[in-house]
Amino acid sequence: MKLLVATKNAGKVREFADLLRSTGFDCVALSSLDAEIPTPEETGETFRANACLKATYYARAAQSWALADDSGLEVDALDGKPGVVSSRWAELHDAGSGDAANNVLLLQQMIDVPEERRTARFVCVLALADPAGRIVLTARDTIEGRLLSGGRGGNGFGYDPLFLVQALGRTTAELTAAEKHEISHRGKALRRLRSLMQEFLPMTPSTQQQAMASTPQPTEL
């Protein structure tokens, strides 16, 4: 059964496909569609709202099961910001755009924050919608860390060079892809979603209908 992964990132599609293989879904990317679907405006105020918005939008547009994620960085000293606007943080402050500009701005905003208050977390929320656009399952997970005063590592993307995983003594930009996948907010959320899918959505026509009928509200861990 086809599952549209609402991203143009080929690496992310492969990551989703690897973890969800046992659920009976065949993950495909937006780029595989015959016609391009315009990108929706992410107007939600929470990660969950945006994930659900995207999953519903793409499911209806493609008339397919669709999986969407929304993720970002929450910094305690900034009252949870940048949050849902993590990827546009510098742009919203007229300080450029892109990962490098976002990191520079965040470092400036944190320059006087002492070590003990530099706590932060990456958050990921996943939403699964059926072909009618109904949200069937959601899953959320995080990874806790601290923000450094300078970047370290050349892997990953976004705020990875600044995000120290204290238990490992390395930033997420210093981890290999496999190491990061094991501990990351997205990897953990995907494994949560896989468990929910295996419990609530057994992939046969008859049992799927029964599962849908008995799951009127989105289920989240």
Catalytic residue among 18, 34, 70, 79: 70
Residue 141 catalytic?
no
Residue 112, helix vs strand vs coil: coil
DSSP per-residue string spanning 45-59: SSHHHHHHHHHHHHH
The contacts of residue 13 (CB under 8 Å, 6+ apart) are: 5, 7, 27, 28, 29
What is the number of other CB atoms lying within 10 angstroms of the CB of residue 93? 15
Tell me if 114 sits within 8 A of 122, measured CB to CB: no
Q: How far apart are CA 198 and CA 24, in angstroms?
A: 9
Catalytic residues: 70
